[in-house]
Chains A and B, each alone.
Chain A
């Protein structure tokens, strides 16, 4: 049986914008060293320039720290109460380099229910596309939040 979910479906197709985010060397280095990244292009601008980059390069999941800067509306889901961070996907499409100015655009991607042994859960998925100052897409990030009955 397919469960009929109640939520604000008029949010589909609406983009929620945020930014610009000016990406600094310190931010990229702080993110990289915090995770113990050893790649020189993440922490050393000279090494990055030797590899042909303008400045230090962000590790692949860097955009995840910017996603929550986009103000997302409540979808008024009539199911469960507490929401938890269930999953995250990053598709890294082009290098993000210190000095870049990124903008974010988020939309509601999907809302679906799954029933397992522990009951039914409803997943809400948002997708955010990040572009740099040239309009190049640098990353797509999906976040999913789950609610239990």
Chain B
């Protein structure tokens, strides 16, 4: 359990290292009720959209990035996640999600931690970046 008092500016959260598999993307698209095949599951359709291959849906990348925060702060902690999709995220490639604390404050009775969050690739590709706010419990 991480407490608000334990967190300081500049602290690193993570990393979470993972990858998105073909099967993982298909099961995500099934829950999403996204019509398949599509550019997320099919090479030919992806290439027609001038993509190098099937990509990970933006909202799936977002869910993976949220996991870094829920693993760290608990399942009910995330208040805000605001992301920019910078580059298509490929299947079957190492993905690294990490965050850096940029602010800590008390607001409306909650102890909030703000951070910059980033999903990168093995070659340093900056796939998805943005800001997150989580609420943490206090020791007092």
Contact = CB atoms under 8 A, between A and B. Distances in A.
Contact of A35 (B30, B60, B74, B85): B60
B83 interface: yes
B31 A31 contact: yes
B7 to A, nearest CB: 19
Contacts of A68: 32, 34
Interface of A is mostly: mixed
A30 B63 CA distance: 12
A88 B62 contact: yes
A38 B69 CA distance: 11
Contact of B85 (A36, A37, A65, A88): A88
Contact of A89 (B30, B75, B83): B83
Contacts, number: 94
Contacts of A40: 75
A65 B44 CA distance: 24
Interface string B100-133: 0000000000000000000000000000001000
A48 to B, nearest CB: 9
A58 to B, nearest CB: 10
B62 A64 contact: yes
Contacts of A54: none
Interface in B12-67: 18, 24, 27-28, 30-34, 58-60, 62-64, 66-67
A49 B119 CA distance: 33
B30 A85 contact: no
Q: Interface residues of A toward B: which range? A: 20 to 34
B50 to A, nearest CB: 9
A129 B80 CA distance: 14
Interface in A71-116: 84-92, 95
B8 interface: no
Contacts of A142: 82
A34 B33 CA distance: 14
A86 B125 CA distance: 17
Contacts of A60: 66, 69-70, 78, 81
Interface of B: 18, 24, 27-28, 30-34, 58-60, 62-64, 66-67, 69-71, 74-76, 78-85, 130
29 contacts: A30-B27, A31-B28, A34-B60, A34-B63, A35-B28, A35-B63, A38-B70, A39-B70, A39-B74, A39-B75, A40-B75, A41-B75, A42-B75, A57-B76, A59-B66, A59-B75, A61-B63, A64-B62, A65-B32, A87-B83, A87-B84, A87-B85, A87-B130, A89-B80, A90-B62, A90-B81, A91-B80, A92-B78, A92-B80
